[in-house]
A and B are shown apart, each in its own frame.
Chain A
Amino acid sequence: MPTESKVAKLSDIGNIIKDGDKVAIGGSWLGSHPMAIIREIIRQKIKNLTAVTVVGSIDIDMLIGAGCLSRLMFSFVSMEAFGLAPNFRRAIEKEGLPYDEITGLAVIIGLEAGGRNIPFLPYRGPFGSDLVKYRPEFYKEMKCPFTGEDLIAAAAIVPDVTIIHATRADYTGNVQIEGTSGTDVEMMRAAKKRIVSAEEIVSPDEIRKNPAKTKIPKFQVDMVIEAPLGAHPCSCAPDYVFDPWHIMKYMQAAMSPETFQQYIDEYVMKPEFDYLDAIGGMKQAAILKRLAREVKYL
């Protein structure tokens, strides 16, 4: 029997991501968010999603601005040095977007519990934090059954779907991540369904040349999509840096719902195929890759 291929087109994500799903989004800070998939979610107008992120940025902000989220679970959402995330702020301050703010370690440990198929994991958690009081459905104070020590239980997080962006994958679903994997591995293990976009799809033989780089084995992957520059405007370390010029343009656009809609029309609602041209083509891609390589060590 031939080996099954999990390779699909970006437009196929609607077969897995449905309205109302809880979607964990990989990547961290301005790095390796699965932006091609994020744009496709917006294009397909998938709605009422609950997004789960540990350290989110433009991925979360864009989904909020495009009206795809009905709830957000996060520990951090920021455009880092570029400022606070404009759509995120507006949605919470003015429009009352419901959210669960959970400390970073609790989200990661909750995902790990989800991956282990148990309801919680204990740790020396954030005693004294108001977030523990505000979200009793995610935190419980407990006693160690052996020593009596006070601990905090982090509730398991089980996403319906996890989406990540990786360095490369083979058509069967083995995934290599060479740079910042963040919580991608834990999110994939915890989820019911998983989609990976990758800079390139290679043969299983190619993957086997460097097995230590493989972070996620194929049985934890349901769909593989080839998406070169698929994290843009985020980075995909070590291959390319984030695109500060595009992010500044985004920040400007996201200042008001009207200008943000223009951004969506100009960069997102066209086919992903045209996206590279819209952001400056091969020339811009070459600059971002060149910057990633030109490092001076001391």
Chain B
Amino acid sequence: MTKYAKDYSVGELMCVSLAREIDDGDVIVLGSFTPLAYASYILAKITHAPNSTLLAYAAVDFRPFQLSFIRAETAATRGAACIWTMLEDLNSVHLKGRGDVEAISSIQADGYGNINLSVVGDYNSPKLRGPGGAGAPEVIKMHRKMIGYFPNHSKMTFVPKVDVITGTRYVIGAEERIKSGYRPGPIRYITNLAVISKEEKDKPFKIDSLHPGVSAEQVVENTGFELEVPGDIPETEKPAEEHVRLLREEVDPYRTLEFDFKPGRERLGYLNEILQKELEAIGYA
């Protein structure tokens, strides 16, 4: 019997939910450095998915490491079984359809499987110029599952229609995906309120599970697109005690995964605190 944790943060709940999306043997691509996603994959690798292959930066099949705000790249590189260029990654994983999960986030997402990392407002005179999508706009189609994580489930993020379609899942539904040369898999978004997913092109996202203490109404109110609300929605599976212990003591002792949940004005202070601890850990006061 799993002993579930009583004390955990919403970040830890999301992190463990994302880790549970990883099956043993999966090929996992780590894109831009996002602590929550990195912590999830490393947690999965040291618990239920020891045969997964992790790729980050140039590193392929790197040994799982303790997360740090500064050292993810050098840790992955020094622990790699193989060092690839980006093109080798693309040829072998992305274009070949061999990737299973590469969790993404975006400024806006809608009910059609579209994401926007480009601009808010008009493309030619934007209110906000976002970073752009890097690989995200394409890998969300190519990988087996499209997994998104959103620390702020709101109508600002989940909109009826994204301002710009930077990328889209495009081929949705098992039959359609197989026909187009892709492996079938869902679109699933893990948020701070719930887990929602979409399996068919012509059907809306459905609420899979609600986080403890969250109501279906609350999720619907904070979502700008149509949601299917089943009559009986399960509670999101809580992190096991062991998950929380591993996260806090082994995977992420500096609590980098909480960074995404800090309001903008507190982030710099939080970052400074982490950096100070990292320096102390290597003997610099």
Say whether B144 faces chain A, with CB atoms less than 8 Å apart: no
When the two chains form the complex, which single residue of B129, B250, B278 contacts A291, counting CB atoms closer than 8 Å?
A: B278
Say whether B153 faces chain A, with CB atoms less than 8 Å apart: no
Say whether B225 faces chain A, with CB atoms less than 8 Å apart: no
Say whether B239 faces chain A, with CB atoms less than 8 Å apart: no
Question: In whole angstroms, what is the CA distance A130 to B136 when docked?
Answer: 14
Which residue of B has the minimal Cβ distance to A241?
B70
Say whether A29 faces chain B, with CB atoms less than 8 Å apart: yes
Asked whether, in the complex, the Cβ of B71 is within 8 Å of the Cβ of A244, the reply is no
Nearest Cβ in chain A — how far from B51, in angstroms?
Answer: 16
Asked whether, in the complex, the Cβ of A185 is within 8 Å of the Cβ of B87, the reply is yes
Asked whether, in the complex, the Cβ of A244 is within 8 Å of the Cβ of B69, the reply is yes
* Residues of the B chain whose Cβ atoms lie less than 8 Å from the Cβ of A28: 57, 86
Say whether A228 faces chain B, with CB atoms less than 8 Å apart: no
* Interface size classification for chain B: 35 or more
**Total cross-chain contacts (CB, 8 A):** 206
Asked whether, in the complex, the Cβ of B70 is within 8 Å of the Cβ of A248, the reply is no
Nearest Cβ in chain B — how far from A142, in angstroms?
Answer: 16
Given contacts A81-B35, A131-B118, A295-B74, whether A215 and B65 have CB atoms under 8 Å apart is: no
Asked whether, in the complex, the Cβ of A75 is within 8 Å of the Cβ of B132, the reply is yes
Say whether A290 faces chain B, with CB atoms less than 8 Å apart: yes
Question: In whole angstroms, what is the CA distance A82 to B75 when docked?
Answer: 20
Question: In whole angstroms, what is the CA distance A237 to B74 when docked?
Answer: 5
Asked whether, in the complex, the Cβ of B131 is within 8 Å of the Cβ of A76, the reply is yes
Question: In whole angstroms, what is the CA distance A214 to B46 when docked?
Answer: 33
**What string of 1s and 0s marks CB contacts (under 8 Å) between A23-48 and chain B?**
00000111100000000000000000
Say whether B203 faces chain A, with CB atoms less than 8 Å apart: no
Asked whether, in the complex, the Cβ of B73 is within 8 Å of the Cβ of A123, the reply is no
* Residues of the B chain whose Cβ atoms lie less than 8 Å from the Cβ of A59: none
Asked whether, in the complex, the Cβ of B132 is within 8 Å of the Cβ of A74, the reply is yes
* Residues of the A chain whose Cβ atoms lie less than 8 Å from the Cβ of B284: 287, 290
**What string of 1s and 0s marks CB contacts (under 8 Å) between B126-167 and chain A?**
111111111111100110000000000000000000001111
Contact surface of A with B, Cβ cutoff 8 Å? 28-31, 54-55, 74-78, 80-82, 84-85, 88-89, 92-93, 101, 103-106, 108-109, 112, 123-131, 134, 178-186, 215, 235, 237-242, 244-245, 248, 287, 290-298
List 4 additional contacts besides A75-B134, A103-B133; criterion CB under 8 Å. A128-B165, A128-B168, A237-B77, A297-B79
